Amino acid sequence: MLFNSYVFLIVFLPITMLIFCIFTRQKNQHIIIGWLVITSLFFYAWWNPIYLTLILSSILFNYALGFCLTHTGSVCRKKLIMVFGISVNLGVLGYFKYTNFFIDLLNNVAYTTYTLPRIILPLAISFFTFTQIAYLVDTYRGGTPKHSFLDYCLFVTFFPHLIAGPIVRHWEIFPQITDKKFRFFHEDFSVGLTIFLIGLFKKVLFADTIAIYATPVFSAAANCTQVTFFEAWGGILAYTLQIYFDFSGYSDMAIGLARMFGIKFPVNFNSPYKATSIIDFWRRWHITLSRFLRDYLYIPLGGSLKGSTRRYINLMITMILGGLWHGANLTFVFWGTLHGFYLIVNHAWRAFLKAIGFKSTANNWLGISFNKILTFLAVAVGWVFFRSESPSAAIAILYGMMGKNGISFPPVLQGHLGSFESFFSSLGVTFNGFGAFEGRGFFLIFILLGIVWFTPNTQEWMAHMNPALEPVKNPARLQWKPTFTVGIVLGILLFFVVQSYFTLTPSEFLYFNF
């Protein structure tokens, strides 16, 4: 079930919210939490009821191990339980997500013909697996608040975060759902609904619209069609904005849905294209995944405490595995490797500047702008691998971006460039258009880039309402208030969303596939 689907918006959410309101009047925490668990499991089972047994088995297994960890005094035994739990969780994840990948890889490398029935990837397995691994490790360390089995079920299955994050931690959720004040509040509902509508607007009006321009270019590259300069750049810029607004929209919708039920989530998306470095980018993009990889992989590997060389190795291992987490394809490995290389260069450059006593360029407008654009372009190049169906298709796009497949202007310019026309022709420039990329897409790209770079994000706009767990560092000058004017604006947004539903089929969020 998609957040932007008819059945969710018209049936599931209203019924879930209505009965939640009724139950909160009974002031019985078990009934309230039980209802949300039931609806969350129904939400998950809507995709494929068969895999309901998988998530329930995973919950029972991890809760039992958590109980053993809590009631075991022996440090050695606790460590064995934790290692066993992590191994089983990763084993199950590996079977469903990577078995077909490694068999195909083996067949290609060793020229073998091993075959297995195609294994269908269960929805959300990457997210609920990481959530529960973090729970086991934290329980081993002795940092888990008191909770019941029902509390744990809601912590894992709560539908706003179940499918694509954020990857929540137990200490963020347990205190909220065990609080006696956990019930329906009009303020929470209005704030949450506003955030949800903003996210829905981003997804339907921005992400799905710009996707129309990105998809043909990557399909052409996958079909071994040469992609020209403007065609390649148009396609990758369109996808760069598609994934931005898709994930930004989903993150807003998840935070908004949770807030409607009186629960605050951690921020998972914080204007990453405003980042002034790759280090800064990973503090803004999929924040809870970065936090997980840092706390449960990078730091246990030694982090930055064992010298620069070991630090760079740890960074590369972390980013390669982070890339592989996104999907069982070599393109994700290359994407993770590229970002690992980016981070190593970024850290090494900072260390070099510090050693020679050079001040940062990020203390003036020109330097900040240069750093933002450079970071944005580096990230965009990385998205080529992330989006492409194969490494060869990614290379075809990169060749096009470098002009290796020629440069083609739109035919309408032919005969209107004067002396420049012969100059361009001497360089091999043609006037055959932008190929698979529709030229009008560039206009939409410029508009969306302006929104990305020059407007406040949802958290900044609603800072005074504390929309998420973390305080907002840079509140917008214009703050959201439940006024008549704001109601009109939200009504207009909702009108455009509803109107688009008659012309566009609701599409999956990109991170639903991970």
For residues 60 and 455, give the distance between their C-alpha atoms in angstroms, rounded to a whole number: 45
Q: Is residue 256 within 8 Å of residue 196, measured between CB atoms?
A: yes
161 is catalytic: no
According to DSSP, the residues that pair with 408 across neighbouring strands are 430
Ranges of beta strands (E only) in 2-56 are none
Q: Which of 326, 347, 416, 464 is catalytic?
A: 326
Tell me the longest C-alpha to C-alpha distance in the chain.
84
What string of DSSP letters covers 316-330? Answer: HHHHHHHHHHH-SSH
**Amino acid at site 402:** M
Q: Which residues pair with 430 in a beta bridge?
A: 408
Q: How far apart are CA 97 and CA 114, in angstroms?
A: 17
Q: 303: exposed, middle or buried (C-beta count within 10 Å: 0-12, 13-18, 19+)?
A: middle
Q: What single-letter DSSP state applies at residue 408?
A: B
Residue 24's closest CA among 138, 150, 134, 184?
184
Spatial distance between the Cα atoms of 178 and 35, rounded to a whole number of angstroms: 14
Per-residue CA distances from 363 to 231, 352, 354, 460, 485 (Å): 36, 18, 15, 22, 38
Residue 350 CA to residue 338 CA, distance in Å, equals: 18
Q: For 192, list phi and psi in degrees, rounded to 5.
A: -65, -40
- What are the residue numbers of the active site? 326
